[in-house]
Amino acid sequence: MESDRSGRFQRVVLVGFMGSGKTSVGRALARLLGWSFRDFDAEIESRTGRTVPEIFRSRGEAFFREVEERVGRRLLREERIVLATGGGWGAVPGRLADLPPATLSVWLRVAPEEAVRRVRADGTERPLLETDDPLKRARRLLAEREAAYREANLVLDSESAPPEGLARTILESMRVSGGEASVPHAKNG
Ligand code: S3P
């Protein structure tokens, strides 16, 4: 039964840097749970009718962050849902401490070198990495964001397993912790 698989959790929020695999792990986990899946960037794009890079170009990052915040607030009311956030959403200090009850937060950790490699490979433009030296920018952003990401209930090394394997690890930890407010800070690498 679904409830046996998810403990008493109602939602899972995946946070982490660009290229950490939030979308692919989120989809795999939603499939295993039989829950819905939503991706923040896709929601933002369908609400505004513009792509994320277009929003950054035409309205600026501050506007993007406002829309992202609103989308996040709305999606966090849903139940039986897996949410793939954008890399900046979980980087706001205190945001993960403020999640609704019955929410499991998971940080998918990735090294900056691997993040830049994956982002290049997937061909989707990431406005914040459009610089002469994306690796330097990724290192700086990650250093700034790490403390906020670390607030997640569960920390997984995204390079340790393919998306399906990471999804299974998350599912297992949901079962073990049974939906308690806090899950021990598990690490898999
Ligand atoms: C951002 C990450 C992107 C997207 C936007 C800003 C960030 O999402 O929201 O380009 O600030 O790290 P992904 O993490 O899904 O790439």
Per DSSP, the residues of 134-165 read HHHHHHHHHHHHHHHHTTSSEEEETTSS-HHH
The pLDDT of residue 177 is: 76
The pLDDT of residue 6 is: 73
- Ligand 1 centroid to residue 41 C-alpha, Å: 7
Q: Whose CA is nearest to atom 16 of ligand 1?
A: 18
- Ligand 1 centroid to residue 61 C-alpha, Å: 11
The pLDDT of residue 7 is: 73
- Give the number of C-alpha atoms closer than 13 A to the C-alpha of residue 12, restricted to the C-beta side: 36
Ligand 1 pocket mutation pick from 13, 17, 18 by most atoms within 8 angstroms of CB? 18
- Ligand 1 centroid to residue 85 C-alpha, Å: 8
Q: Whose CA is nearest to atom 8 of ligand 1?
A: 86
The pLDDT of residue 185 is: 47
The pLDDT of residue 179 is: 54
Residue 125 CA: which ligand 1 atom is closest? 10
pTM: 0.92
Number of other CB atoms surrounding residue 127 within 10 Å: 14
Q: Whose CA is nearest to atom 2 of ligand 1?
A: 87
Q: Whose CA is nearest to atom 1 of ligand 1?
A: 87
| Low pLDDT (below 50) residues in the chain | 1-3, 180-189
The pLDDT of residue 183 is: 47
Residue 53 CA: which ligand 1 atom is closest? 10
- Ligand 1 centroid to residue 150 C-alpha, Å: 17
- CA dihedral 65→105→98→183, nearest 10 degrees, is -160
Q: In the 3-class helix/strand/coil scheme, how is 89-142 assigned residue by residue?
A: HHHCCCCHHHCCCCEEEEEEECCHHHHHHHHHHHCCCCHHHCCCCHHHHHHHHH
